[in-house]
Amino acid sequence: MRGRQAEAARNDRRLLEAAREVFASQGFDAPVSAVAERAGVGIGSLYRRYGSKTELLQRLCVLAMEQATESAEEGLRADDPWDGLAGHIRRSVAFQSGALGPLAGQIDTTPDMWSTSRRVRKLVDDLVRRAREAGALRPDVTALDVSLLIELFSRGGRAEPTAEDVNNRDRLLAISLDGLRVLDAGPLPGHPPWRSHYESPWRGPDRTDN
């Protein structure tokens, strides 16, 4: 892309990055004006690109899943299955892949959101299966456990975390990753998480077939 197209693409990326930072740190009630201010664009430019706050959030969800897709594909290219899975988890936490989880039930979903979700889900299933078959991942850990772990570490926090914030997050994430590995440990409590329970807030009362 050149000229105006390239500039428009840069502005769009800046808007989406600003939106993720604003909503992750201030909550989803934050005004759209805060996103425009953080991105360094006018509110009119934002609304020309996204007609509503909901449309912006829907696109943000797709972007997060596209990034997760790229990360999972990179993990599958790793020679060591455990390194591939752990690397995907670390990358996903670093760009706050799961920060939009609390939006479930708050915005309408789109076909693009569901199709992108299915792609990344298949890739994470493959990452988990590889690590399990290599004897590196404890057998009772599921792909949804991994997704929930990423979501947990992605939520909240400051828009611009300090070095101490990053240090503390990385330490706790390392502890959690060790918990996924095959060690001399007892069984996990309860049952594996249910996909239907995880997705039900996104589906809404009228969504039954995604």
Q: Mean pLDDT for each 10-residue chunk of the chain (210 residues)?
A: 70 85 82 91 88 92 93 97 95 86 86 95 97 93 92 72 76 86 69 82 66
User: Are 132 and 106 in a shared domain?
Assistant: yes
Q: What sections of 27-110 are H helices per DSSP?
A: 32-39, 43-49, 53-77, 81-94
3-state SS class at 206: coil
pLDDT tens, 159-191? 566 777 777 778 888 888 888 887 766 666 677
Q: What sections of 78-142 are H helices per DSSP?
A: 81-94, 111-133
pTM for this prediction? 0.80
In the structure encoding, which two tokens stand for residue 193, read together?
């998480």
For residue 171, give Cα distances in angstroms to 25, 139, 190, 208.
21, 24, 26, 40
3-state SS class at 181: strand
Range of the domain at 105: 60-203
Q: What is the CATH number of the domain that holds 102?
A: 1.10.357.10
Query: What is the domain count for the chain?
Result: 2
Quick check: is 208 in a domain?
A: no
Quick check: is 114 in a domain?
A: yes
